[in-house]
Amino acid sequence: MEKTDLSSAYRRLKSPNIKTKKRALKLIQAAKRKQKGI
């Protein structure tokens, strides 16, 4: 089970693993969308 907080997601963007990178990107985009909604 991986952490889903923003700092972990940004760290995972540097990963060589493509799937990990894509998951991190989705998390970050979701967080940005949530922030804009407020």
| 1-38 per-position pLDDT tens digit | 889 999 999 999 999 999 999 999 999 999 999 999 87
pLDDT of residue 38: 72
Q: What's the token pair of residue 9?
A: 């997601």
CB atoms within 10 A of CB 25: 13
Q: Please state, in angstroms and rounded to a whole number, the distance separating the CA atoms of residues 20 and 28.
A: 12
Query: 27: closest CA among 35, 17, 37?
Result: 35
